[in-house]
Structure 1
Amino acid sequence: MTRTLAIVLALIIAALGWQSWRLNNARHTIESQGTALEVKAQELSKKNSQLIGLYILTETNSREQMRLYAAAEQTTILLRNRQHRIEDLKRENEDLRRWADTPLPADIIRLRARPALAGGAAYRQWLSQSDAVQPEPVSAAH
């Protein structure tokens, strides 16, 4: 019976050792998963902050776009009113009508005929290709 008791005791000790080993592995797994969860939470917080920043930027852009559309509409209305006022004045005043019907000077026509430019590089290229004003000759006498 002692032998049976020793075998049962050995089995119980082996079972407890095995359970202790499993619990230790489970604890290590839980700790590593907890660490991974904290890292993921920090990444999620960072992404959430970025999304909030993008939302604020989008809202700001939308408001500014609406403001620009309203300003463009207001400008169009003012331009239309100005054109109507000019037409009314031309009908009222003969001198103004003659002045408005005279052709523009060649330099003004050339300025109005320039192409639409997109940026500084295009402007510099246009300037270098156009007929630039020649510099005055430098006199030799000082």
Structure 2
Amino acid sequence: MAYHYKESGLDNVFLENGYTVHQTPYGEGVSIHDTEGLHRLIGEQIVAGPKRINGAEFRFLRLAMELSQRNIAAIIGSEEQTVRRWEKCRNQPVNGPADRLIRLLYTEYVGGNVKIRDAVDRLAKLDQIDRTEIRLREDHDHWRAAA
């Protein structure tokens, strides 16, 4: 019998195996084997799917990348309130550009693309950092960043 993996936050994930059912003092409990690998595969299935990502899937991918609603909103150039609304309306698709961008970010992020991970981390901090001075200096007809 398949286990309905509601703990993922998604309504459509069922596990055929890879879990153990055991008794606890509070009733029946379930232990999932290799949760990290399972979540990675769920994310890969979401981004490879033919339909637009819905709010629940968007939330799953955001959490897999360890981003807050505020940070993902900054990355995709949206308002935090818009992200909240998408995630609250679990079955509604997110808008086209956000759908494509989160698919790309997730694919590269979990694929180990260090440059994308660094870019995601840097973009997520855009609204949190005050503007800093850009100091430049010319040396021998070439511009460079000043120390």
Q: TM-score, normalised by structure 1?
A: 0.19
Larger Rg: 1 or 2? Answer: 1
Q: TM-score, normalised by structure 2?
A: 0.18
User: Could you say which structure has the higher helix fraction?
Assistant: 1
